[in-house]
Chains A and B, each alone.
Chain A
Amino acid sequence: QKEVEQDPGPLSVPEGAIVSLNCTYSNSAFQYFMWYRQYSRKGPELLMYTYSSGNKEDGRFTAQVDKSSKYISLFIRDSQPSDSATYLCAMRTGGNNRLAFGKGNQVVVIP
């Protein structure tokens, strides 16, 4: 079983829709949870960062962490064509900085 599971299927949504992405994980030692956005032919960039369980909101983006279920989510409200990218979940323990990534979801927002 992989440490982090993210169904890598592509997602196409119309502009203005809500995008919902999620990951599950098996390592209960993970404490820090991140979502990275990767545009085509670019390196990943940090989008959201959450410590432990709870919700975090930043503009149109909301990250949720449920440690009891080992499940994290990212919601994008009022999606825009500029949100078209691959979204990768990532997480790490408190002891080191090794990031464990999901495989990523390619999101396409259709104008």
Chain B
Amino acid sequence: DSGVTQTPKHLITATGQRVTLRCSPRSGDLSVYWYQQSLDQGLQFLIQYYNGEERAKGNILERFSAQQFPDLHSELNLSSLELGDSALYFCASSVVPGGTPDTQYFGPGTRLTVL
């Protein structure tokens, strides 16, 4: 158990809908990362937050947004969902960004199915 929690475990929804994925980082970790894992693209970095502020952006669609709250938990919002958004979404956390080594601890993931 990495100490990172994600809810829900599974999410089934329809095209055009909006969903929110939640992540609680390990105790003491200030940085949160979101990744998308699909069979054809593999694990892709979406976005990173550090202590409430956006730190880095990857291949995140404009329909997706995220935030990190004062208690350090994070939410990933996916809107106008398309079939291609079906994937595993992972959250990871680390103590601080850029540390050496800076281990990212991954949560168990949320499996999103868009029908």
| Tally of contact residues, B, Cβ under 8 A | 28
Interface of A is mostly: loop
Of B13-21, B67-75, B76-84, B102-110, the segment with at least 4 beta carbons within 8 Å of chain A is B102-110
* A98→B97 CA distance, assembly (Å): 9
Cβ contacts under 8 Å, A8 to chain B:
42
Taking the complex as formed, is A60 at the interface, i.e. its CB lies under 8 A from any CB of chain B? no
* A98→B56 CA distance, assembly (Å): 7
Cβ contact within 8 Å between B43 and A97: no
* A42→B90 CA distance, assembly (Å): 10
**With contacts A43-B2, A97-B56, A97-B97 known, is A102 near B104, CB below 8 A?**
no
Cβ contact within 8 Å between B109 and A43: yes
Q: Which B residues are within 8 Å of any A CB, using their own CB?
A: 2, 4, 31, 33, 35, 42-45, 48, 55-56, 58, 90, 92, 94, 97-98, 100-109
Q: Which A residues are within 8 Å of any B CB, using their own CB?
A: 8, 32, 36, 41-46, 49, 51, 88, 90, 94-104
Query: What 9 new A-B contacts, CB under 8 Å, besides A32-B100, A99-B104, A104-B43?
Result: A44-B43, A46-B104, A49-B101, A88-B42, A96-B98, A97-B31, A97-B98, A97-B104, A98-B45
